[in-house]
Amino acid sequence: MAEHEINRAVEASLDSASLSFRDLLKWAFSFPVLLGTVFAGVAFCVARQLSLDPDVWWHLKDGEAILATRHWPTTDPYSFTVHGFPWIAFEWGGDVTLAAALKVGGVRGLDILLFTLGTAILLALYALATISSGKSKAGFAAAVLLTPMVIAQFNLRPQMLGYLLLVLAMIMLVRFRHGKPRTLWLFPLLMLVWINSHGSWVIGMGALFVYWMAGLFEFQVGGIEAQKWSPTQRKQLSLVFLLSVVLLLVNPYGTELVAFPFKIARGYQVSHTIVNEWLPMNFNIAAGKVFLFIILGFIVAQVVYGFRWRLEELALCLFGVFAAFIHLRFVLLFVPFFTPFLARILAQWVPAYSREKDKDLLNAALMAGAAALMVFSYPTRADLERKIADQFPVQAVQYIRAHHVPGPTFNSYWFGGYLLWRGQKVFIDGRSELYEDGGVLQDFAQLDYLRIGGLDILRRYQIQSCLLQPDAPLATVLAALPNWERIYSDRTSVLFVHRGPWQSLPTSLDKQIANVASRATEPLQSHE
């Protein structure tokens, strides 16, 4: 039996009311599902490391505040440099999810959430690849090849939710193209969750729009073909699109949240030049090399085999490729858009799954063994807290509290989220757009990169202490200056205090900054 026929049979039996429990068990312990276990293992290995993005902390703080106050912020409460500036929790759904995981399970809860989201994303990609190619082995091979790029983006931020939702959206659209329209009715609900979780919803809407547009034509030119939608399909697509647009407004901020991705796209020049994930694709790193290898492999396969592609999938793939080259973070787009291509190319050579040769008991044993291994090797709370302390200034914050270190404190960009979560008012954190709007990001860059007049920034903001990464250039400079004293250091951070008063401030602008500095001494609700 051909694999796609098996899949259809399984789907048909799933649809029918007469599905037997035995059939369900056979499916649950089938070889394709065993292959899926591999991805759970990969996600587990990543989650074990708990390599946290610095932004996770301000997301957590925001989520905790929303859960505690039942109020959605409209101004910044966390910094002393842009305090009171207009700001919205544009990923509040994701923030609340993170905070709930922390509240329920502590740091282990966060790790389990990372594992769950990672597994869900990889399995969804596997499913997308399988549906696109009609072969589970080809789907598995495609998802495996793309995994290094996917896991490079795994970090505990709402963008993982966005990633998962994008893959699910692609599954719905591909199934719709394959003549299975029912799942597309879930698209508006997906958008309802998406608009409140992460700004990548606009990509989902764009994908739907591209599918709709591409089906308005019918042609074949070389390796590109456009298949026209039937009137029923076009009607359904239009309705789904309209429903999705309507549901976009169902969020605490109304149209402001809808407008946010466009505001980002208009360009935050400074953010896009200094924040790592906005930098172009870097071929010095493993993920970049895999990306390059995959692109060139695709070009070779296309030239040699002359595959034919549908207009909509080609348009989305080209967009994903271009976006990933320009900004590293858009590998998130490239992978789901490219997965169907890769799976269909590999399907040329990968043999189909044969149900008759499947060994359910062996599969079940392997899956149980993998699950047991994961459970037994799951890191302890102490292990996870140690990993956090290796990345963030845990001890330094305790020192600051215990020794009443004077503020305001200038902090490394990397530390901002964690300091904010621990109740410290920050100079800057990962909400780069907010700081760029307030002019603070430019000042930060001038100081952090030690450009002309950079050290004057410390005087302008009346900074009394600096919490920096040990190998930061500013740390080397402050160590050599007589009016700065290093009072604390560990592997993760170093703390300097300013000795003696700053000179008086002559300009009105500098007086405004002095007001900012005084706000830094107001206590935040601390988190222990």
Partner 1 sequence: MSLAVQQNHFKAMSEHRIVVGSRKYSAVHESPKVIAEINAPRTSVPYVAQRALTVFELLKSVFSFPAMLGALLFVRVFYEGRAFNVDPDMWWHIKVGQDILRTHHFPTTDAYSFTVAGTPWIAYEWLGEVILGFVARDGVLALDAFLIALAGIIMFALYGLATLRSGNCKAGFLVSVLICSVAFASFNMRPQMFGYLFLILELIALESFRKGIRWVLWLLPPIFLLWVNMHGSFIIGLGVVAVYLLSGLKGFQLGSIEAVAWSRQQRVQLDAVLLLCLAVLPLTPYGTQLAAYPFDMAFRQPLNTSIINEWRPMPFDIMGGKMFLAFIVVFVMLQLFSRFTWRLEEFVLLLGSTVLACLHVRFVMLFVPFFTPLLAAMLARWIPPYKRALDQYIANAVIMAAVVLGVTHFRPSREFLEDRVSDTFPVTAAHYLEQHPIYGPMFNDYAFGGYLINSGRRVFIDGRADIYERGGILSDYLLLTKLKPGSLSILDLYRVESCLLKPDEALTTALLGSPKWKRIYGDETGVLLVRAQPLASPTRSNPGP
- Give contact residues for partner 1 (rule: CB under 8 A): 221-224, 272-273, 279-284, 288, 292, 296, 299-300, 302-306, 309, 314, 318, 321-322, 325-326, 449-455, 470-471, 473-477, 479-482
Closest separation between CB of residue 459 and partner 1, Å? 11
Helix 231-248, helix 201-214: angle, nearest 10? 160
Minimum distance from CB of 309 to partner 1 (Å)? 7
Using alpha carbons only, give the angle 320, 413, 498 rounded to the nearest 5 degrees: 165
Q: CB of residue 344 vs partner 1: minimum separation in angstroms?
A: 14
Closer residue to partner 1, CB minimum distance, 61 or 460: 460
Of 258, 235, 236, 35, nearest to 141 by C-alpha is 35
User: How distant is the alpha carbon of residue 300 from its chain centre?
Assistant: 31
Shortest distance in whole angstroms from residue 301 CB to partner 1 = 9
Element (H, E) at 484: strand 484-489
Tokens encoding 340: 């169907």
* Sign of the dihedral through C-alpha 490, 493, 494, 497: negative
Q: Which residue has the tokens 């967009």?
A: 319
Cβ nearer to partner 1, comparing 269 with 354? 269
Measure the CA dihedral 387/391/395/401, to 10°: -130
Residue with tokens 């649809």: 15
- Characterize 246-274 residue by residue with b for buried, 16 or more Cβ atoms within 10 angstroms of its Cβ, and e for exposed: ebbeebbbeeebbebbeebeeebebbbeb
Cα 38 to Cα 119, 155, 166, 335, 366, distances in angstroms = 10, 19, 22, 18, 10
What is the nearest approach in angstroms of partner 1 to the Cβ of residue 482?
6
SS3 state of residue 95: helix
* Nearest residue (CB) to partner 1, 179 versus 482: 482
Question: What's the CA gap between 167 and 176, in Å, rounded?
Answer: 14
Residue entry with tokens 């149980």:
368
CB 428 to partner 1: min, Å: 18
Q: How many Å apart are CA 8 and CA 321, to the nearest integer?
A: 32
When the beta carbons of 262 and 322 are compared against partner 1, the nearer one is 322
> Which pairs from 109-112 meet CB under 8 Å and 24+ separation?
110/50, 110/56, 110/156, 111/47, 111/48, 111/50, 111/379, 111/384, 112/47
State the nearest-atom distance from the C-beta of 41 to partner 1, in Å: 31
Q: Which residues of 353-379 are buried (b: 16+ CB within 10 A; e: fewer)?
A: bebeeeebeebbeebeebeeebeeebb
Considering only CA atoms, which of 342, 297, 337, 346 is closest in space to residue 138? 346
Least distance from C-beta 465 to partner 1, angstroms? 17
CB-wise, 282 or 518, nearer to partner 1? 282
Name which of 292 and 362 has its Cβ closer to partner 1: 292
Query: Quick one: 117 or 468, whose CB is closer to partner 1?
Result: 468
CB 410 within 8 A of CB 517: no
**Min CB(111)–partner 1 separation in Å:** 32
Identity of the residue, 189 or 318, whose beta carbon is nearer to partner 1 in the bound complex: 318
Give the nearer residue to partner 1 in terms of CB position, either 194 or 291: 291
54/320 with CB nearer partner 1: 320
Query: Whole-angstrom distance between the N-terminal and C-terminal Cα of the chain?
Result: 60
Q: Considering the complex, what minimum distance in angstroms separates the CB of residue 468 from partner 1?
A: 11
Please state the closest distance from residue 417 (CB atom) to partner 1, in A: 24
Helix axes 381-391, 394-403, angle to 10 degrees: 80
CB of 485 to partner 1, least distance (A): 15
Rounded to the nearest whole angstrom, what is the least distance from the CB of residue 88 to partner 1 in the complex?
A: 28
Identity of the residue, 304 or 382, whose beta carbon is nearer to partner 1 in the bound complex: 304
Closest to partner 1 by CB, 112 or 326: 326
Q: Which is nearer to partner 1, 482 or 500 (CB)?
A: 482
Q: How far apart are CA 462 and CA 456, in angstroms?
A: 10
Crossing angle, helix 331-346 and helix 286-305, to 10 degrees?
Answer: 40
